[in-house]
Amino acid sequence: MLDGLDHHAARALLEWQMELGATEAIGETPVNRYDLPAAAPAPALPAAPAAPVIPAGEDAGVGADPVVAARAAAQAAPDLATLAAALAAYDHCELKRGARNTVFADGRPGARIMIIGEAPGRDEDIQGLPFVGRAGRLLDRMFAAIDLARDAVDAESALYITNILPWRPPENRRPTAEECAMLLPFVERHVELAGPDLLVLMGNTPCSAILGRGGITRLRGNWVEALDRPALPMVHPAYLLRTPAAKREAWADLLSLKARLKEIA
């Protein structure tokens, strides 16, 4: 037990940490970090682009409306690197405080297909990249079956991948409508700057956030227009891991995607 804390207080502290998204103890024994000698200064990192300058009159400060602040920050970004910096600097979403990393994107910017998922899970939070856990490995196998990959060098066979939320929700809970609305301006600008021909909306969350409609089992496989381009709702690979029988429909959707790519080549 921690010094001076009774069982109930210690348990409340632990529950609070779990609410913030802590899912594991890092070491076997507790470390009192106040007693450690001062750390050596970290080596200098290569300069990252600064967050964009918000035009005067568009208040993005702490008291600002979170959606207005997100829109101002996202719209001021002239390129993807600056958008990533603006997202990392955005301070209105509580999820950021419990996350290890801001998960921006993976794959090749400029790819003809951009996949939009829900939010990082544990593995994504640790690695700082979207779709790198079990569901991500299935996603890679699915798209490899139609000759598309996030590490392909040519835009023709490449994928670009992001999520509606860049921070892991505690215990992988579903993102709230408020969180999605807050981060949507970044996703909209992300799509604008990446400029894909087609979007894949992976699961219920991106459909609700972008189309304003849920019910992925009815939406899947039906092309819609979203963010100024054709978009295909598909069931999430995490659902396919739980429901292998749905893989047959997912395969039909992949073929539809491949055909659409050829059509608009």
> Would you tell me which residues interact with ligand URA (CB under 6 A)?
117-121, 124, 130-131, 133, 135-136, 163, 238
In the bound state with ligand URA, the residue whose beta carbon lies nearer, of 58 and 123, is 123
In the bound state with ligand URA, the residue whose beta carbon lies nearer, of 66 and 203, is 203
Q: CB of residue 136 vs ligand URA: minimum separation in angstroms?
A: 6
Q: CB of residue 119 vs ligand URA: minimum separation in angstroms?
A: 6
d(CA 54, CA 69): 9
Which residues does 234 contact at the CB level (< 8 Å), separation at least 6? 200, 201, 202, 203, 216, 220, 221, 250, 253
Q: Of all residues in this chain, which one has the CB nearest to ligand URA in the complex? A: 117
In the bound state with ligand URA, the residue whose beta carbon lies nearer, of 146 and 241, is 241
Apex CA 213: angle with CA 160 and CA 70, to 5°?
60
* Residue closest to 198 by CA, chosen among 237, 224, 219: 224
Q: CB of residue 59 vs ligand URA: minimum separation in angstroms?
A: 31
d(CA 259, CA 233): 15
In the bound state with ligand URA, the residue whose beta carbon lies nearer, of 163 and 208, is 163
Q: CB of residue 46 vs ligand URA: minimum separation in angstroms?
A: 25
In the bound state with ligand URA, the residue whose beta carbon lies nearer, of 182 and 238, is 238
* Residue closest to 163 by CA, chosen among 210, 216, 101, 119: 119
Q: Alpha carbon of 257 to those of 70, 170, 185, 217: distances in Å?
A: 31, 33, 26, 17
Q: CB of residue 106 vs ligand URA: minimum separation in angstroms?
A: 9
